[in-house]
Amino acid sequence: MMSGPHVPPLARTMLDRAAHHRRDPDWLAQAFKTGLVLVVDTAAGGRAPARDNSDGSASLVLLDAAAAPEGDRHFLGVDPDGTPLFTVDAPLPALSGVSGVTLREVGHRLDDRDAGLFSAAAALVNWHVSHLFSPRSGKPTTITEAGWSRTDPDGKQMWPRTDPAMIVLIHDGVAGPGGRCLLGRNAQWVVPDGSKRFSTLAGFVEPGESAEAAVHREVLEEVGVRVHELRYEGSQAWPYPGSLMLGFTARADASDPISVDPDEIAEARWFTRTEIKAIRAGEYRDPDTGVSIGLPMSASIALYLIETWLAFPED
């Protein structure tokens, strides 16, 4: 089980998925009576109930089975103390001091147990919503194996899928505050206040392609730069709707010209460690336009890669 500060925020988990119980209806029926339920509302963008804590963290609010709303029920696993855990896709109940939040908004503020629980629940309910019918026959499917498969009337099963995607922090290999990383601004990101958000480069791994080959291809396609010295840094689920982000760092020559694909990248540029620290502190503006510049959201592996590069300035 992955936990602690030195892994991507949504890679943290304490969940025992206990897959051997998924085909045991008697155990599941009894477990639901004594278990806890995380409600996730896919109709509201995958929100779940959470409460803010005084120390700045947040905690998911799980319900007893008797208090849980009706909805499709999926078995997630068991807590370290043995408590069975389920998720139900339903409208969120109104609870005092509790608000509906997405994993994007709150994932980095959850403890290891809740981060893993919310990641699993969000990915699972998202898959069910998009697989109500068989892609083979078009016939309706039903939930089987406690939520971990769906079956059509002909007995053909399908299981939750995860789409691998690479994400890479490109740097120049220079140590110290003058070392630079290459970040891009996605062409689809429109911020109402006119500010700019830069992030690491990412893309889906294509059929028949390794993750490493995808890094080389995507970087060349998006910014026209060739990278080398790839290093795998870690992965995390990104259930929007069902990706697994494979994180890398790679080196590139900062003197190579940047040539962006305008359909994908609106702008790409090199930032020094000093500039990235200023952006993190909210003290940096675009030198050409004066608009503020931001970095990826705190729950993302993109920010984890950037902060890891900042934390080891000798690399």
Q: Does 3 reside within a domain?
A: no
Of 130, 151, 174, the domain-final residue: 130
pLDDT digits (tens, 9 = 90+) for 142-189: 999 999 999 999 999 999 999 999 999 999 999 999 999 999 999 888
pTM: 0.93
**Vertex 234 angle, CA 214 and 222, to 5°:** 30
- Same-domain status, 114 and 232: no
Distance CA 246, CA 232 (A): 8
For tokens 């990104």, what's the residue? 238
pLDDT band at 105 (very low <50, low <70, confident <90, very high): very high
- Same-domain status, 105 and 174: no
Task: Please state, as a whole number, how many other Cβ atoms lie within 10 Å of the Cβ of residue 95.
Answer: 13
Is-contact 246 164, C-beta < 8 A?
yes
Looking at the structure of the chain, the number of domains it has is: 2
For position 208, which CATH number holds?
3.90.79.10
Of 89, 108, 130, the domain-final residue: 130
- Same-domain status, 98 and 23: yes
- Same-domain status, 213 and 118: no
- Same-domain status, 109 and 15: yes
pLDDT digits (tens, 9 = 90+) for 26-52: 999 999 999 999 999 999 999 999 999
- Same-domain status, 124 and 218: no
Enclosing domain of residue 74: 9-130
In sequence order, the β-bridge partners of residue 151 are 142, 157
Least confident stretch, 26-30, 84-88, 133-137, 147-151? 133-137
Of 130, 152, 175, the domain-final residue: 130
